[in-house]
Amino acid sequence: MDSRSCPAPRRVGIVFKRSSPEAAGCAAAAGQFLAARGIEVVEEDALTPDRVDLVVVLGGDGTLIHAAGLLEGRPVPILGVNMGSLGFLTEVPQPELYQALDHVLSGKAQVSVRMKLRVHVHRGAKEERLVDSEVLNDAVIAKGTLARMAEFDVVAAGHYVASYKADGIILATPTGSTAYSLAANGPILYPSMHGLIVAPICPHTLTQRPIVLPDDQTVTICMLSDSEVYLTLDGQSGRQLLPGDRVQIKQSPNRVLLVRNPNIDYFGILRAKLKWGER
């Protein structure tokens, strides 16, 4: 896996799942643990990308994605601690929190380097840019609950791919290959791979299958139908799309750095989450 060393931090931000009292208590205890070792602790409300050397996330994968957004593309390592079951991104179990913190403070930890996607939405003849954002997992274009199937054209690297009638389409990173894309029969990509998954959601033509494209290709989706359709970014923010809108997805120059759990590898995470080998 593409990895690099994680320097021992001096200033650590803490982000936790706000709806979880257990996560809040764990965040307070972790802050005391770090402060006792001379580390400056920065709470989420005061967290800025240039103020921290490490972010500790206490929650689930959604909380980690939120924390990655707070960093605005700055390559600050993130230590994800899962407060429930093992997560694909928050891969440190809560009982191993202090062991993981000691490992990071020793300067011996490694980080996994994850690619992101840049998403633009253009509208009208003047190409007004409505969205300029980044995702770690995926950008999803999907119809409303009661709307007709969406219709759109897909172009990759300037070449026409196909026209789709479907419930929607998912554009996912290798990290996002184990999220919504997996539920749409998309492939699992090893996190260090450089590729872009294009996975239609319930296509009208059943032979239209997910495809993996090189990471240097730009994918453009042109909206054709007037049905109710929304763009959702990493499951956290959305916007309604109109006929004629163009959604452009390409690799971002920014990366997300995830502190690796030395006690488990990626295949161990897959076995635990997907129940591989169970009888």
In this structure, what DSSP letter does residue 136 have? S
Longest distance between any two alpha carbons in the chain, whole Å: 60
Give yes or no for a contact between 110 and 5, defined as CB atoms under 8 angstroms apart: yes
- Catalytic residue, candidates 61, 138, 234, 245: 61
Alpha-carbon distance 187 to 140, whole Å? 16
CB within 8 Å of 126: residues ≥ 6 apart: none
Q: Is the dihedral of CA 42, 43, 46, 52 positive or negative?
A: positive
CB within 8 Å of 259: residues ≥ 6 apart: 6, 54, 77, 78, 79, 80, 92, 100, 104, 109, 110, 111, 112
215 is a catalytic site residue: no
CB within 8 Å of 167: residues ≥ 6 apart: 142, 143, 149, 150, 201, 202
Taking residue 263's Cβ as centre, other Cβ atoms within 10 Å add up to 13
Question: If phi over 0 gives left and psi between -120 and 50 gives alpha, with beta otherwise, what is residue 147?
Answer: beta
Closest CA to 201 of 226, 217, 180, 220: 180
Active site residues: 61
